[in-house]
Chain A
Amino acid sequence: MRQIAIIGIGQSPVTENWDQSIREIAGEAIIAALHDAGLTSADGIFIGNMLSGQLSKQENLGALVADWVGLRGQDAVKVEAACGSGAAALRLGIMAVGSGELESAIVAGVEKMTETKGAETTSALATAADADYEVIQGVTFVGLNALVMQRYLHEYGWRHTDFAPFSINAHANALHNPAARLHEMITEQDYQRARMIAEPINLLDASPIGDGAAAVVIVPLEDVRRKFPSQAGLKRRNIRISGSASATDYLAVHSRKDPLWLAAAERSTRQAYAQAGITPADVDFFELHDAFSIMAALSLEACGFAERGQAPRLGLDGEITIHGSIPIATRGGLKARGHPVGATGIYQIVEAVQQLRGEAGATQIENAQIGMAQNIGGSGATIITHILEADRVN
């Protein structure tokens, strides 16, 4: 496999976007990414998306988007892995360019979620779970996470309020991200008083949905200086994808031997660490899948940043902030940047590239060299991990 570099990034703000359709939102991010890369085309287009069929009554997104951005004729396809669709699309793009099948690819994630009624969107999201044995019982996606969090509180003895730092940190970082859905600081008191959605998960444990798209352009690393002169002119650090791994688990939470352990996160991260030749201690920041505060905790544990049952301690000790030992959600995370589900995995990659290029503004992590992004489809069923590294500028 050839090594892969990311040479362009683009994103549209996560909003309730009544002005743009799904093709327009995707097009905006893709054109921005091509512009950032100094290109006008790419050999392939991979679109991460979960809900277009259900909520926009639109499938065949590969052709739809290729047509819209003026790249008719190119190889283009939609990739679906529930909320992990974005990272799944990136992984396919990496395999296509890495193998030599394509010389360049645009990988985008797009989702349009705010035009339908709440109950309809809730039902659509629940299709990530087991229709016959979970969803039929009236459990929502939030509900599944609530079942996990309730058990976690019971087994490890944490109080609900001990999870507040995850949400407070995400909101504080999103304040400085113009593309974020929420721009408001929250306090522990706000967290404690938030409206209950599915006990013990309240509104400030949960990420907001939204409309949005993000895109990256990938090429073989060996070609960056040779074939893309615009990149040499930019004097940017090369951003290399040094790890990419996907793993799956039982689809249904109830089938897992230990519902409090993200086995697929452990497996995919172990593979990605091995590919990159690093350990968790080498990771400068971690864009994790904090769809719910409990998921942030479980991810930190399964990826080797905290002992089992101890992740809330990292939050309480300030280790997850941009000045801590393992900064997370540095641009707001799912919690405050927002969670346009199939687009989220690519927002994470765009944000990681911003950090590694030194373009993260007020939430820039000093000397960031290695970033990790992890995207989860379902409540832990599909977990995809990417490790990005910035080449040192000589």
Chain B
Amino acid sequence: MEISRHWRLRKQRYGLMGEICPHCEAKLFPPRDICPECGGEAKTLYQFSGKGEVYSYTTIYEPPAGYEENAPYTVALVKLDEGPIVTAQLTDLGEEQVQIGTPVEMVTRRLRQDGDERGMIIYGYKFRPVGLGPH
């Protein structure tokens, strides 16, 4: 993968930086330049809190290339408190059984453990159950 491809997403990956529509105030993540609610142009940055709850989840037993080391791992649709849903891995689960509705919060973790052919290590958001570990 190309370095610039990941570099330009750093605000999203490390900080859940989305957008707010200046016309209808819809909050958008991932950012998209046209508001899906009102069709207006939406480029105003908006910082998401990183809090949300599990909307759905699954365990990946047959991972794609580059993710083998962590399998099986849990991926979820997380509904952020501000409205949008994001796809993200759940982490720091310990013995806890994930359920739909489990409150979670964003943390920064390594997304790909292997680097890649250029030796790059990609970090980004994952979510963990609220109340676990130091904040």
Q: Which chain B residue lies CB-closest to A118?
A: B62
Whole-angstrom distance from the CB of A313 to the nearest CB of chain B? Answer: 22
| Measured CA separation A143–B9 after assembly (Å) | 23
A223-274 contacts to B, CB under 8 A, are 250, 252-255, 259
| Measured CA separation A118–B64 after assembly (Å) | 8
Contact of A138 among B56, B57, B111 (CB under 8 A): B111
Q: Across the interface, do A126 and B61 meet the contact criterion of CB distance under 8 Å?
A: no
Beyond contacts A151-B56, A198-B59: 10 other A-B pairs, Cβ-Cβ < 8 A, are: A122-B65, A134-B87, A137-B88, A138-B73, A140-B63, A143-B60, A197-B62, A253-B77, A254-B85, A255-B84
Count of residues in A whose CB is under 8 Å from the partner chain: 37
Q: Name which of A134, A143, A259 has the most chain B CB atoms within 10 A of its CB.
A: A143
Interface size class of B (residues with CB under 8 A): 35 or more
Residues of B at under 8 Å CB distance from A? 5, 9, 12, 30, 36, 55-68, 70, 73, 75-77, 84-89, 100, 111-112, 122, 124, 126
| Measured CA separation A216–B52 after assembly (Å) | 49
Q: What are 22 inter-chain pairs, A to B, with CB distance below 8 A? A: A119-B62, A119-B64, A120-B65, A122-B62, A123-B66, A126-B64, A133-B86, A136-B124, A138-B60, A139-B75, A139-B87, A140-B62, A140-B63, A142-B60, A150-B57, A196-B61, A197-B62, A250-B36, A252-B30, A253-B77, A253-B87, A255-B85
Q: Does any Cβ of B come within 8 Å of A376's Cβ?
A: no
* Contacting residues, chain B, for A132 (C-beta < 8 A): 5, 9, 30
Q: Across the interface, do A259 and B60 meet the contact criterion of CB distance under 8 Å?
A: no
Q: Across the interface, do A254 and B61 meet the contact criterion of CB distance under 8 Å?
A: no
Whole-angstrom distance from the CB of A339 to the nearest CB of chain B? Answer: 16
Closest 3 CB pairs of A and B: A146-B58, A151-B56, A123-B64
| Measured CA separation A37–B86 after assembly (Å) | 49
Q: Does any Cβ of B come within 8 Å of A147's Cβ?
A: yes
Whole-angstrom distance from the CB of B9 to the nearest CB of chain A? Answer: 6
| Measured CA separation A387–B84 after assembly (Å) | 36
| Measured CA separation A7–B53 after assembly (Å) | 54
Contact of B87 among A137, A150, A199 (CB under 8 A): A137
Beyond A138-B111, A147-B77, A254-B77, whether A154 also contacts B56 by CB under 8 A is yes
* Contacting residues, chain A, for B126 (C-beta < 8 A): 137
Residues of A at under 8 Å CB distance from B? 117-120, 122-123, 126, 132-140, 142-144, 146-148, 150-151, 154, 196-201, 250, 252-255, 259
Whole-angstrom distance from the CB of B70 to the nearest CB of chain A? Answer: 7
Whole-angstrom distance from the CB of A116 to the nearest CB of chain B? Answer: 10
* Contacting residues, chain A, for B5 (C-beta < 8 A): 132
| Measured CA separation A150–B101 after assembly (Å) | 13
Q: Across the interface, do B76 and A198 meet the contact criterion of CB distance under 8 Å?
A: no
Beyond A142-B62, A199-B58, whether A151 also contacts B77 by CB under 8 A is yes
Whole-angstrom distance from the CB of B60 to the nearest CB of chain A? Answer: 5
| Measured CA separation A144–B88 after assembly (Å) | 11
Whole-angstrom distance from the CB of A187 to the nearest CB of chain B? Answer: 23
Q: Which chain B residue lies CB-closest to A120?
A: B65
| Measured CA separation A142–B36 after assembly (Å) | 27
* Contacting residues, chain B, for A133 (C-beta < 8 A): 12, 30, 86-87
Whole-angstrom distance from the CB of B33 to the nearest CB of chain A? Answer: 14
* Contacting residues, chain B, for A122 (C-beta < 8 A): 62-65
Q: Across the interface, do A136 and B111 meet the contact criterion of CB distance under 8 Å?
A: yes
Q: Across the interface, do B60 and A198 meet the contact criterion of CB distance under 8 Å?
A: yes
* Contacting residues, chain B, for A118 (C-beta < 8 A): 62
Beyond A133-B30, A150-B56, whether A252 also contacts B61 by CB under 8 A is no
Q: Across the interface, do B64 and A138 meet the contact criterion of CB distance under 8 Å?
A: yes
Q: Which chain B residue lies CB-closest to A117?
A: B65
Whole-angstrom distance from the CB of B113 to the nearest CB of chain A? Answer: 10
* Contacting residues, chain A, for B77 (C-beta < 8 A): 147, 151, 253-254, 259
Q: Across the interface, do A255 and B58 meet the contact criterion of CB distance under 8 Å?
A: no
Q: Across the interface, do B64 and A135 meet the contact criterion of CB distance under 8 Å?
A: yes
| Measured CA separation A336–B57 after assembly (Å) | 27
Q: Name which of B61, B76, B124 has the most chain A CB atoms within 10 A of its CB.
A: B61
* Contacting residues, chain A, for B65 (C-beta < 8 A): 117, 119-120, 122-123
* Contacting residues, chain A, for B112 (C-beta < 8 A): 136, 138
